[in-house]
A and B are shown apart, each in its own frame.
Chain A
Amino acid sequence: QSALTQPASVSGSPGQSITVSCTGTSSDVGDYNLVSWYQLYPGKAPKLIIFEVNKRPSGVSNRFSGSKSGNTASLTISGLQAEDEGDYYCCSFGGSRPWVFGGGTKVTVL
């Protein structure tokens, strides 16, 4: 069982916006603005897409955005494209547990 809770799957049609939630506790997500999101594809290096809750690394599309409210962080993908299909994981700094991960969300483009 992962420390952070994510929905197992989220789907949307091309062009739509979807949101993936990531719920933790007051000891991790709620206590630190150090939430990051990763895109994973089998056989490829995972890719950082959001860090520090809402910052995008250079080269990441501005269709990806992050936010946080209380103990829940969210990743929003706007203008959904076929290439966005994959697995997305959230991660939060957790003090004595430097990294706590979510269980992952499979994003499907219908």
Chain B
Amino acid sequence: QLQLQESGPGLAKPSQTLSLTCTVSGDSITSGDYYWSWIRQTPGKGLEWIGYIYHSGSTYYNPSLKSRVTVSVDTSKNQFSLNLTSVTAADTAVYYCARVLLGSYCLDSWGQGTLVTVSS
């Protein structure tokens, strides 16, 4: 059974970089036609797509976050990661990683999410 698990610090200081990792178990990150994505849920803006990566390393980011976002993949560890730079309080959110089924563009499997608070 596919499982995704987010990990990383729960607190980030303003202007610093938020870094999270998603560990995939139950299947290889290189198998099948899937993208691997990051989504966040903020109190004020609901769910927001951040970006996705294919196992080859190709990426696509939300234009509103593109200048601050990097998503990378480590196929040897079956993980993919999110870096979000120059964070502010507006980046406080529950961050989810999820698998995207190509063609359907649906998020068919999610992690349980991790709360990241941006505060000094």
Contact = CB atoms under 8 A, between A and B. Distances in A.
Interface residues of B, number: 26
A49 B119 CA distance: 35
A34 interface: yes
Interface string B47-60: 11100100000001
B75 interface: no
A102 B2 CA distance: 26
The interface residues of chain B, by DSSP majority, are classed as strand
Interface string B28-68: 00000000010101000111110010000000101100000
Interface residues of A, number: 27
A93 B107 CA distance: 11
7 contacts: A40-B41, A51-B106, A51-B108, A89-B46, A93-B105, A100-B49, A104-B46
Given A2-B47, A45-B112, A101-B49, 9 more contacts: A45-B96, A45-B110, A46-B98, A47-B110, A97-B49, A97-B63, A98-B52, A99-B107, A100-B49
